[in-house]
Amino acid sequence: MRIIMLGAPGAGKGTQAKLISERYGIPHISTGDIFRSNIKNGTELGKKAKTYMDQGQLVPDELTCDLVVDRIAQDDAKDGYVLDGFPRTIPQAEALKHALEGRGESVDFAIDVDVPDENIIKRMSGRRACVSCGATYHVVYNPPKKEGVCDVCGSGLILRDDDKPETVKKRLDVYHSQTQPLIDYYQKDGVLKEVDGTQEIDTIFSQIQKLLG
């Protein structure tokens, strides 16, 4: 079962990808993890990626796809995988399709976790992070016992720059221009499935399980 997770930043696709991975015994593969692993292990692809990242540049589509294909060729992914954060653009989707065809494979499901922008802005701007231990909270869904103070270590909590409404809005704009077209792309391929991401985590996962059959 080869699955791609789609959805805006903050839609909860990473959470669902982890649940799918645990339930079906297939690896949860995120591009961030792949980059970190290859850089840490000093692989040729990792060295190439690092040169771009060190300059604050995006890793080119072709190299990102090479890293992903290298990862999905590993033994633990022989029965499938769930891709989280890739592809992000149509050229990446085309490169992945081409690479999979070369292996006699194709994507089985592209699951779009659909959440309206206003919900995402509200959800992300309510996040709080501990400056010391990194524990995360939410002012509505997962508040600390004492406002502004970490339950774990007692340090102060902050609203990260990434979670500020104006930053979230910019990230959503990028998503709509670059990544949203993937929804049409996978719909044409007949593999797109949509779930309502405004529901409880368990409810969303139950729906995904029904879709996967």
Active centre residues (catalytic): 13, 88, 127, 160, 171
Listing DSSP states for the chain in one string gives -EEEEE--TTSSHHHHHHHHHHHHT--EEEHHHHHHHHHHTT-HHHHHHHHHHHTTPPPPHHHHHHHHHHHHTSGGGTT-EEEES---SHHHHHHHHHHHHHTT----EEEEEE--HHHHHHHHHTEEEETTT--EEETTTB--SBTTB-TTT--BEE--GGGSHHHHHHHHHHIIIIITHHHHHHHHTT-EEEEETTS-HHHHHHHHHHHH-
